[in-house]
Amino acid sequence: MRILTSLCAALLLVVTAAQAKEEIVLGLSKDTVSINTNFDGSEILVFGAVKRTGPIPENPPLQVIVTVAGPSEAKTIRRKEKRFGIWVNVDAVEIDQAPSFYAVATSTLLGLSLTETEDQRHKVSIPRAIRSVGAPDNITDSETFTEALIRIKSASNQYQLNEGTVSLDEQTLFRTSIKLPAALTEGEYDTRIFLTRGGEVISKYETSIYVRKVGMERWLFALSRENAFLYGLMSLAIAIAAGWGASAIFTALRR
Amino acid sequence: MQIYLPIAEVSVNAFLLLGLGGLVGVLSGMFGVGGGFLMTPLLFFIGIPPAVAVATEANQIVASSFSGVLAHFKRKTVDLRMGTVLLIGGLIGAAVGVMVFNYLKAQGQVDLLVKLCYVVFLGIIGGLMFFESLNAIRNVKKGKPPARKKHNWIHGLPFKMRFRVSGLYISVIPPVIVGISVGVLAAIMGVGGGFIMVPAMIYLLGMPTKVVVGTSLFQIIFVTAFTTMLHATTNFTVDIVLAVLLLVGGVIGAQVGTRIGVKMKAEQLRILLAMMVLAVCGKLAFDLLVQPAELYSIATGGH
């Protein structure tokens, strides 16, 4: 009986080893980003190691891709055209789901790290991370609207494609840093790490980074939503007190 | 020093906001305008989301107008009676304006309409004031006495009321109508409406310029307070941190501005305000006519 159990255990070990040859052990410099009054962007260090049971396979070489995605929301992209001599919003395309923040960091060019099929499956590259529903019939070039979204978001560092910024040592230790801009939305930021060989994903690890307001920021935000009338009155009281205060100070100064 | 705004969810330079508040505050005190028509576009420009900019600006105008009106109360240049009549019209107008705004928002194109409103009204008012003040200055130089107040159709209307501070005995209908139209436009354009009301009081109601400023500030306090509450309770877009930074600069500026305004001649004051109004109008018209660098824009949410 005992022989049978140990045999089973050994067999199980062999099977798991064969299935997951290389897996990720991950570390994050922090898993919560606190937004306080003097918040001016943040940097998150993503590092880890590849755990394997066998020797390092020689070819194709191991590549690492790290993605961080902020909460998604629907967007409407509008395009201006000249009508009656002035520039007016004419066409609009709805984007079903677009992350508020999205960063991709890779150990080599993204095109070399991932095949088109795998990109489609895991939605890694920036255009794939955006889910667009069908455009209205009268718009034939809906992809230019998605491109515009990426262009505008990239300009403000909300979307980042950082190729070659993941450093990989001995095909085992990897590290990269993701810069979060100052204009950051609260929420859960999905962080994914992919190991690829020859463009195929061989291992995947998912975790979350929480971005939340703290202290006064948290208190004011909560008050403005939960007790809007009180918040409005407080805003007015502060405004009137400041107006009266300045007047009183100036009168005192003139005497 | 960067500071994170809890409602706007962006990080901006605190000194930049203090400076902007101060600058607009000086103008507010000098001309009796809330300064919203300058500040709101400036806030868009530094990257504050438009909805937050409009709502927060209303709150800031309350502060700078309150500070300004106190200085005017001391000089007895506030016509409380006229202010109250204008205010009644203003509150009705603001409520109607918010309804019009929401209707237009549902139709899309609200941005364009707001900008066209700005261009048309700033253009007309700025142009009229500019030429009128120019003529007045010329007449003063030639030694001609200023034109006497003429009796026009306004004096034939019923419900007459005596406005002692303004030295007027006119019907309440024109001020109420001025109040309503200013309220409507103020709600649509997201401003206090002083830049429309000040010329309307001078040219339509025939009030003396010195009284106009204080009375306009008095009315603006209440209309913008009403707008602030509407925005805070329905859209949750009043950012108190942004407001505090703007109003610290703003209230100090308003005090300085009021003192500069008192030292200046009425014609000079009007021609300066006219030039400023025309400059903002020109900038907005230019933006509409010239091809923008980025043709696409992102709006949150679907249809």
Chain A to chain B, count of Cβ pairs less than 8 Å apart?
191
Report, as ranges of residue numbers, the positions in chain A whose pLDDT lies below 70.
Answer: 1-20, 133-135, 255
Q: What is the ipTM of this complex?
A: 0.76
Question: Mean pLDDT of all residues in chain B?
Answer: 79
Of A76, A216, A240, the CB nearest to B301: A76
Q: Which of residues 207-266 of B touch A (CB under 8 A)?
A: 225, 228-229, 231-233, 236, 238, 240-241, 243-244, 247-248, 251-252, 254-255
Of A39, A75, A247, the CB nearest to B67: A247
User: According to the model, what pLDDT value does residue A3 have?
Assistant: 58
Q: ∠B293-B190-B6 over CA atoms, to 5°?
A: 80
Examine the pLDDT at B68 and tell me if it is beyond 50: yes
Amino acid type, B143: G
Q: Do B60 and A239 touch (CB under 8 A)?
A: yes
Q: Which of B9, B52, B110 to mutate to test the interface with A (most CBs of A within 10 A)?
A: B9
Distances in Å between the Cα of B301 and the Cα atoms of A74, A246, B86 are: 5, 41, 38
Chain A residues whose CB is inside 8 A of the B241 CB are: 37, 220
Chain B residues whose CB is inside 8 A of the A225 CB are: 236
Chain B residues whose CB is inside 8 A of the A37 CB are: 3-4, 241
Torsion of CA A53, A58, A61, A62, to 10 degrees: 10
Q: Do A76 and B299 touch (CB under 8 A)?
A: yes
Q: Do A82 and B252 touch (CB under 8 A)?
A: no
Tokens of A85: 């001599």
Q: How far apart are CA B24 and CA B39, in angstroms?
A: 7
Confidence of residue B71 (pLDDT cuts 50, 70, 90): confident
Q: What integer is the mean pLDDT of B59-67?
A: 81
Q: How far apart are CA B303 and CA A75, in angstroms?
A: 9
Of A78, A183, A239, the CB nearest to B9: A183
CA distance B132 to chain A (A): 30
Q: What 8-state DSSP symbol labels residue A58?
A: -
Tell me the Ramachandran region of residue B193: left when phi exceeds 0, alpha when psi lies from -120 to 50, beta otherwise: left
Tokens of B18: 């203090």
Q: Do B2 and A182 touch (CB under 8 A)?
A: yes
Axis crossing angle, helix B240-263 with helix A215-226, rounded to the nearest 10: 90
Kindly provide the residue ranges of all beta strands, DSSP E only, lying in A100-143, ordered along the sequence. 102-106, 131-132
The structural domains of chain A, with segments of one domain joined by +, span: 22-213, 214-245
Q: Which helix (H) or strand (E) holds A123?
A: none
User: According to the model, what pLDDT value does residue A228 have?
Assistant: 84
User: According to the model, what pLDDT value does residue B35 have?
Assistant: 74
> Per-residue pLDDT tens for B101-147?
767 766 656 677 777 877 888 888 788 878 888 887 787 777 655 55
Minimum CA–CA partner of A89 in chain B: B109
Of B70, B74, B244, the CB nearest to A238: B244
- For A250-254, B53-57, B153-157, B222-226, which range has the lowest pLDDT when averaged over its residues? B153-157
CA distance B176 to chain A (A): 25
Minimum CA–CA partner of A42 in chain B: B11
User: According to the model, what pLDDT value does residue A102 have?
Assistant: 92
Minimum CA–CA partner of A73 in chain B: B301
CA-based max dimension of chain A: 102
Q: How close are the terminal C-alpha atoms of chain B, in Å?
A: 38
CA distance A142 to chain B (A): 12
DSSP structure string for B264-298: S-HHHHHHHHHHHHHHHHHHHHHHHHSPPS--EEE
Chain B residues whose CB is inside 8 A of the A183 CB are: 9-11, 47
Of A79, A89, A236, the CB nearest to B59: A236
More confident position, B300 or B282: B282
Q: How far apart are CA B266 and CA B139, in angstroms?
A: 14
Q: Which of residues 100-159 of B touch A (CB under 8 A)?
A: 108-109, 111-112
Of B228, B240, B288, the CB nearest to A87: B288
Q: Which of B296, B300, B303 to mutate to test the interface with A (most CBs of A within 10 A)?
A: B296
> Per-residue pLDDT tens for A80-139?
888 888 888 788 888 888 898 999 999 888 888 888 888 888 888 888 888 776 667 777
Q: Which of residues 45-64 of B touch A (CB under 8 A)?
A: 47, 59-60, 62-64
Examine the pLDDT at B88 and tell me if it is beyond 50: yes
Of B47, B225, B294, the CB nearest to A236: B225
Of A148, A185, A216, the CB nearest to B9: A185
Instruction: Reply yes or no on domain A22-213 having CATH 2.60.40.1930.
Output: yes
Minimum CA–CA partner of B234 in chain A: A228
Q: Do A73 and B241 touch (CB under 8 A)?
A: no
Q: How far apart are CA A122 and CA A173, in angstroms?
A: 23
Of A87, A185, A250, the CB nearest to B291: A87
Distances in Å between the Cα of B2 and the Cα atoms of A11, B5, B11, B14 are: 60, 10, 6, 6
User: According to the model, what pLDDT value does residue A18 have?
Assistant: 43
Chain A residues whose CB is inside 8 A of the B62 CB are: 236, 239-240, 243
Chain A residues whose CB is inside 8 A of the B251 CB are: 242-243, 245-247
Examine the pLDDT at B154 and tell me if it is beyond 80: no
Q: How far apart are CA B199 and CA B203, in angstroms?
A: 6
Q: How far apart are CA B77 and CA B258, in angstroms?
A: 12
Q: How far apart are CA B123 and CA B216, in angstroms?
A: 20
Q: Do B63 and A216 touch (CB under 8 A)?
A: no
On whether the CB atoms of residues B237 and B7 are closer than 8 A, the answer is yes
Residue at token pair 């008192």: B262
